Each structure stands twice: as C-alpha cells, then as structure tokens.
C-alpha cells in the first residue's frame, strides 16, 4: 500500500525575495523581480535584463570558506534547503540520516565558472585553473553539499532535464517517499546562469525578451505582445515526508502531494507539440496518479514562459485535458514576476503552488493586458485572488520535449 506524502517545510531564494515570507508577499503583491543585468556587462547584448537574486549573502547560510568555494547555484540550493529544514523543524542525526535523502534539479549547473575557467585557460594557461573548478561546475554538487553540510545520507541525486528538472526532482522524491525508499526528502530545483554565454545563446535562438527599456513589463505570459522569456535565478526547496513520520513528530503540514506525471514529446529539440500532446498526456498521467478527475482541479501554476509557442500550446493542452472546466479553473504564470529559472523553475513553482493551497490565495499573472490568440482562459490577470484552492497542479516543460506535472491538495485526515 502506497504511503501518503506531505509537505512540511519550504525554503526560497528568488528574484523577488529571500525566504518564503518575503517571496510569497511579493508574489501576491504582483511585484516583478526583473531588472537590468548587473552580473556582467550586458551593454553589447540584445537582452540586457534578467531576474537576478538581490541581497543574497552565502555566508548567512554556510561558513565563509565554503561560500567562496561554491558556485552560486550550489549556494542558492544550500540556503533554500537549510531554510526548508528549519521551517519543517526537522532534525537530521544518526538516528534518521540514512532515511532522509536529497534530489535536486538543475539545467545548466556552473555555467558561469565554466566561462571564467575557459577564458583563464585561453589567456593564462592551464596552470591557472582552480582545483575547485570541477566540483563548482557539476550539477550534482548541489545535493552533494546539502548532504555533506545538513546530514541526509539517503538517496542522493541531481537531475538535468532542462526546464523540467526541478519538477522532476520533486516528483521522483515524492515517489521515493511514497514507495518506502525514504522517510523524508529534501527536494527542489536550483539555477544561476545569468551569464554571458547563456544570454548570448538564448539570444541566438531568439528566445529572450528584448524589452530592455521596461524590465518589469518584459515577462508577459499569455499576452499578445510577449516577445520571449526572461532568465531568472534562485532556488526552491521542499521537505517531503511520509504522513505517519510527519504526524509522529508533530510536524506542521502545508499540503499533501498526490500526483506526478512525466512524458516525452518526441517532437522537436526546442518547440513543444502544436497540439500540446506531450503536455496533455503529462497532465492526464498526473491526474490518474492522484486519483482525481479534471473538474477537481482549482488552480494550475502554468509553465507559462512568455514565449509565443509555449503559451499557445500549453493553453491548447489545458483545454484538451479539462474541456469545459478549462474555463472555470484559475491559471497563472508566476514567471511573469520571477522570470524563468530554467532547471530551478519547478522548485520555486511547486513551493508557490503549496502556498496557494495552504493560504487559499492564487498569485497573479502580471503584465496581462491584451489576450493573445487562443489564450482565452482565466490567467488571473494582474492581481492576486482569494479563492478556495483544494487542488493545485503545476507544470514544467523542457527542451528536448521533457515534461513534468505535479498535483497537490489540501491536507485532511481522511485520504
């Protein structure tokens, strides 16, 4: 018999705040975290804006020496994981360490340190490479450092499924706890690639917004005048626990995780299927896993990237899955405020979905002024909405046609 799995802790490092309270307050207020890039000189780039994390000090979450040795995506993950553990009031020690694991998602890892090291090798020679270069670069160092410094010694994985990585990590963790492989998991996503090559690469694909004169209005999911996504950075981590484990220690329960779906498009390296086939099957799989019908879903935290094809095809997919109910449920893209965290998106957006269930508040899609063709659903435009949210779904779709859907519901004693 599969075990029930609940969310007992959360941590956030985002472009709109550090910590759950600050990030959620900004989100519900419709505050944008998009501004001019400060991480490097972007004056020669087509896109000069991003969702950078402001005011982050790694030394607040780890020793000074470690903070200097870690690439930002690792530090963000460590910070969010530490906050999530503290929020859950979960102590990891010799009695439970081997039953608590870590799974994180990260799309590109230490791209910034890779850029700097390649330049060093080219201009100064191979002897100028830091011995910490490889550990700073590889994506699995995020769960590795969380394990080393926070104590969990159970399953330890890093997933690199592009923009679905964070959601896949949460989904895999959910199944590990549900099936008895672990009693609890620290899980989510992290990313920090506001970097020269990332911006140049996405510009070459014509994927990024170039609305440089109005950064806060650049991310416009489902809106007629959208012109691309905005890169964001940060991390979102959750504590998932078996229900009996959480109840035994008197933990606060934010929500119950009930469904996970994942599919592949088998269509194109970057474009989703025009009919939304992969997304349709992904949402349907998650609903079956959760034992729910489409009309039971109240809210969808959409992938909603602010690109022409994603917004259109995701809207088509929602209509295909939910039929008439598609026009009755609420949908929003929090990327309108945070930008797109790539492999970290699923982490923060799962946290936002949990908070929506817990508080019965639906965050808005800001910058929604003129509906795009076929994007005619209820995207909760421009202002947060107080409404019952018993069941929330969150979607994450990635390059290569990899898809993930998670479903959460309000916790009740009865299943």
| Residues known to be catalytic | 163, 303, 340
CB 241 within 8 A of CB 183: yes
Token couple for 87: 């929020």
21 burial type by CB count under 10 A (0-12 exposed, 13-18 middle, 19+ buried): exposed
CB 225 within 8 A of CB 328: no
Enumerate the H helices of 42-110 as residue ranges.
64-69, 72-88
> In angstroms, rounded to a whole number, what is the distance separating the alpha carbons of residues 271 and 265?
9
Assign residue 317 a region (left: φ > 0; alpha: ψ between -120 and 50; beta: otherwise): alpha
The percent helix, strand, coil of the chain (3-state, each to 5) is 40, 20, 40
> In angstroms, rounded to a whole number, what is the distance separating the alpha carbons of residues 101 and 176?
9
What kind and span of H or E run contains 113?
Answer: helix 111-124
What kind and span of H or E run contains 128?
Answer: none
> In angstroms, rounded to a whole number, what is the distance separating the alpha carbons of residues 415 and 244?
13
Token couple for 405: 């859907």
CB 49 within 8 A of CB 215: yes
> In angstroms, rounded to a whole number, what is the distance separating the alpha carbons of residues 120 and 124?
5
What kind and span of H or E run contains 396?
Answer: strand 391-398
> In angstroms, rounded to a whole number, what is the distance separating the alpha carbons of residues 144 and 152?
10
> In angstroms, rounded to a whole number, what is the distance separating the alpha carbons of residues 1 and 291?
14
CB 234 within 8 A of CB 65: no
CA angle centred on 98, ends 93 and 104, rounded to 5°: 100
């Amino acid at each position: 018999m599969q075990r029930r799995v609940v969310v007992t802790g959360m941590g956030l490092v985002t472009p709109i705040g550090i910590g759950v309270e600050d990030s959620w307050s900004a989100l519900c207020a419709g505050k944008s975290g998009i501004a001019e890039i400060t991480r490097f000189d972007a004056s020669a780039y087509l896109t000069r804006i991003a969702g950078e994390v402001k005011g982050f000090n790694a030394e607040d979450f780890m020793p000074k020496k470690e903070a200097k040795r870690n690439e930002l995506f690792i530090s963000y993950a460590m910070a969010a994981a530490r906050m999530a553990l503290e929020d859950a009031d979960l102590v990891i020690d010799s009695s439970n360490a081997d039953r608590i694991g870590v799974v994180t998602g990260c799309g590109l890892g230490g791209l910034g340190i890779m850029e700097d090291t390649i330049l060093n090798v080219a201009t100064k020679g191979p002897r100028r490479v830091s011995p910490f270069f490889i550990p700073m670069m590889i994506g699995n160092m995020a769960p590795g450092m969380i394990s080393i410094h926070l104590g969990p010694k159970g399953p330890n994985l890093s997933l690199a499924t592009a923009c679905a990585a964070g959601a896949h990590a949460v989904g895999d963790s959910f199944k590990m706890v549900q099936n008895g492989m672990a009693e609890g998991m620290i899980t989510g996503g992290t990313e920090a690639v506001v970097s020269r090559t990332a911006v140049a690469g996405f510009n070459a694909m014509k994927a990024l917004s170039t609305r440089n004169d109005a950064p806060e209005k650049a991310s416009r999911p489902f809106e007629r005048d959208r012109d691309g996504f905005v890169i964001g950075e940060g991390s979102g981590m959750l504590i998932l626990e078996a229900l009996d484990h959480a109840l035994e220690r008197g933990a606060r329960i934010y929500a119950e995780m009930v469904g996970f779906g994942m599919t592949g498009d088998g269509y194109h390296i970057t474009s989703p299927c025009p009919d939304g086939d992969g997304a349709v099957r992904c949402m349907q799989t998650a609903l079956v896993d959760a034992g729910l019908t489409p009309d039971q879903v109240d809210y969808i935290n959409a992938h909603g990237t602010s690109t022409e094809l994603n917004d259109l095809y995701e809207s088509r997919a929602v209509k295909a899955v939910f039929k008439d109910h598609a026009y009755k449920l609420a949908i929003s893209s929090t990327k309108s405020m945070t930008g797109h965290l790539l492999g970290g998106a699923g982490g923060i957006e799962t946290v936002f979905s949990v908070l929506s269930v817990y508080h019965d508040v639906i965050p808005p899609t800001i910058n929604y002024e003129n509906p795009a063709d076929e994007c005619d659903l209820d995207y909760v435009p421009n202002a947060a909405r107080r409404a019952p949210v018993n069941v929330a779904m969150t979607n994450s779709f990635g390059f290569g046609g990899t898809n993930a859907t998670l479903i959460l519901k309000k916790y009740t004693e009865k299943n």
